[in-house]
Amino acid sequence: MIVGFPVNKTHVNTRLQTEMPADLEKWLLTGATIPDIARLEAAKTDTQAIRNSIHGLDNLDLLDLAKNLQHPCLLVHGQNDQAITIPNGEIIDNMPDLSHLIVFEESGHYPMLTETNKFNRLLNDFLALESGKSPSDLQLKEEWKRRVR
């Protein structure tokens, strides 16, 4: 499972390279119901670590990596992600059969924090896939609710 990963460096908003972590935290988490501890930790992120991560994308292309996939790969993005551009239809059409994109409609850059129950359910379903089976049948599901009698 790959969450919010850019296809290549052109899919990364330049603000990630120029702004301080505290400003990025406010930008990416505005309006989201996020635990305070996550906000505090996000604001403490090492600026150089962010820049190094983005610099690491200089010679990396997700489509090139995907061509050699031998295991299922699930791409997860938030519809409202301002930091990373969601792959378009043409890119998705060129992905191998063992890959699949799922978009969290109500999330931004952190679907695992904003739609935690759906994310965890999807993660469990992905991890439970039989070896070699495509994740294309996976879909977002609401949390199972335990019935009390």
Q: What is the pLDDT of residue 60?
A: 82
CATH number for the domain harbouring residue 118: 3.40.50.1820
Note whether residue 142 is domain-resident. Answer: no
- Tokens 């908003």 -> residue: 13
- Tokens 């063992």 -> residue: 98
Q: What is the pLDDT of residue 34?
A: 79
- The C-alpha atoms of residue 109 and residue 83 are separated, in whole angstroms, by 7
Q: Bridge-partner residues for 76, per DSSP? A: 3, 102
Note whether residue 146 is domain-resident. Answer: no
Domain that holds residue 95: 2-8+61-131
Mean pLDDT by 10 residues, the chain (149 residues): 90 92 86 78 88 88 79 92 90 83 93 92 93 86 57
Q: Are residues 47 and 100 in the same domain?
A: no
Q: What is the pLDDT of residue 148?
A: 55
Residue 101's H or E segment, with its range, is: strand 99-104
Note whether residue 104 is domain-resident. Answer: yes
